[in-house]
Amino acid sequence: MRLATSVLLAVVVSPWTALAQEPTAPPPAVSPAAPGPAGPPPAGSSSSKRKSKEIPSFLIIGTVFNEHAYSFPGVEVRIRRGDQRKFRWDTYTDSRGEFAVRVPPGYQYVVVTHVKKYADQTQSVDSSVDVQKRLSIKLEPQSHTKAGAKS
């Protein structure tokens, strides 16, 4: 009886354990360089019309400090090319007063920091020299003299 039970148990359980132990086949890997089974795509296909968007390779990174040399979170950082008037990159400093922006190499850039009650700071960056530029920016409070105040 014991032998019959174990044989019956082995026959009933083995199909499920066999299915559970078989690994699933990974999907076939398709290399973009290798042509598919039908050969290279025709010249007028949509895949040849798509442009690959390249990630800019120059990094502008920096830290913004207040007048007491503490890191300054929430400061607006705007970046434009030196030969243009329109700012193309805009970011804010994080909780540690740091920012990072990737831009295309080979140009002069102007970095402007702006926050209320502080004077704007402007720095130039030449992206044709290296692969990154680290900035350290110290903001100074604006000094307003009220009209009619005696000095």
User: How many other CB atoms are found less than 10 A from the CB of residue 113?
Assistant: 23
Q: Is 76 within a domain?
A: yes
Q: Is 65 within a domain?
A: yes
- In this model, does residue 95 exceed pLDDT 90? yes
Q: Is 102 within a domain?
A: yes
The pLDDT score that the predictor gives to residue 107 is 94
- Cα 100 to Cα 89: distance, rounded to the nearest angstrom: 11
Task: Provide the domain limits for residue 120.
Answer: 58-134
Task: Check which CATH number belongs to the domain holding 74 and give it.
Answer: 2.60.40.10
| Residue % of the chain over a pLDDT of 70 | 58
4: three-class secondary structure by DSSP: helix
The pLDDT score that the predictor gives to residue 114 is 96
- In this model, does residue 102 exceed pLDDT 60? yes
Beta bridge partners of 60: 101, 133
Q: Contact 72/121 with Cβ under 8 angstroms?
A: no
Q: Which distant-in-sequence residues (6+ apart) come within 8 Å of 85 by Cβ?
A: none
The pLDDT score that the predictor gives to residue 26 is 59
Q: Contact 82/107 with Cβ under 8 angstroms?
A: yes
The pLDDT score that the predictor gives to residue 89 is 96
Least-confidence region, from 30-34, 76-80, 82-86: 30-34
Q: Is 33 within a domain?
A: no
Looking at the 3D structure of the chain, how many domains does it have?
A: 1
Beta bridge partners of 141: 118
